[in-house]
Amino acid sequence: MSYLRGSPNYVWCTTSVLGKGATGAVYQGVDKNNGQPVAVKTFNQLSHMRPIDVQMREFQVLKKVKHENIVKLLAIEEEQDGRGKVIVMELCTGGSLFNILDDPENTYGLSESEFLLVVEHLSAGMKHL
C-alpha cells in the first residue's frame, strides 16, 4: 500500500494528516516546483455522491475568496491516480482555534486582548464572505 500520493504539481503522504471531516481529509504536502509546504484536501466517496454542479460551485467560490483572514487557495488539481480533484491551500502552522482554546493554559479562556483580536479577525473574514 502506497502512502505517497500526488497531483501534477504537489505531493503528500497520507500519514501526514492535518484533519479529517465528513467529505475528506487534509494532509500536509509539498509543492514539487519549489518545496513550499502546503495543505492538500482530498475527497472521499461520500463527497463524490454530491451532484457535480454542487462540487463545481464549491470550487468556483473558493477561487474567488481572497482575504488575509481566510486560508488562501493555491490550486485545484486532479490526483495522478484518478481518484478525483484535490484542493491545495496555504499551510497554516499555528494550529486551529479549537486547539488553541483547548490548550490547558487557556482553560479559563483567552486574555481580553487576545479574545478581541480573535473576534476581530473572525468577523473580518466572515464579513468578507
The verdict on whether residue 72 carries a ligand-binding annotation is no
Place of cell 467560490: 61
Secondary structure in 3-state letters for the chain: CCCEEECCCEEEEEEEEEEECCCEEEEEEEECCCCCEEEEEEECHHHHCCCHHHHHHHHHHHHHCCCCCCCCEEEEEECCCCCCEEEEEECCCCCCHHHHHHCHHHCCCCCHHHHHHHHHHHHHHHHHC
What distance in Å separates the CA atoms of residue 105 and residue 10, rounded to the nearest whole number?
36
Q: Quote the cell numbers at residue 27.
A: 494532509
Residue ranges for the binding site?
A: 41
Residue ranges for the binding site for ATP?
A: 41
